[in-house]
Structure 1
Amino acid sequence: MRFRKADEMEKYQNEKSAKNAFMFYTTALLIWSLYDFFAKGEAGWQSTILLIGSAIFFWTRVVYNRKMM
């Protein structure tokens, strides 16, 4: 089985899909952690996952921005 390189349209669609998925997961984890914080008094693992995921996202943006310069 051979894989082919994605063309520009597929790259664009993948980028938009990844952005939408990231926004969904971020919003869902934020709402879940806020609910647990106010209901139980603790943030729980979902807030840790949210913070780590956001840190990875923004750190990779910085790395790729520096590579482009």
Structure 2
Amino acid sequence: SVGVVSCANLALDLSIRYLPDHLYTYLIPGPHEPDYDQLDHYLQPTLEKFIEAWQPGMRVSRTA
């Protein structure tokens, strides 16, 4: 079995929020559901990037 964790940026417009390009998706190998410590291991690298961007903020001049 495989577990899936999917995160969406709620600051995005609803029309694009759930498009694949704007989702963070994790596939977690089985055969059992991970405990919180194991789940943290998967999420930690992305959370660190979020914190990095949050502290000083970030400016996007264009999206395409």
With the length of structure 2 as denominator, give the TM-score of the two structures: 0.35
Q: Which has the higher contact order (CA 8 A, sep 6+)?
A: 2
Higher strand share: 2
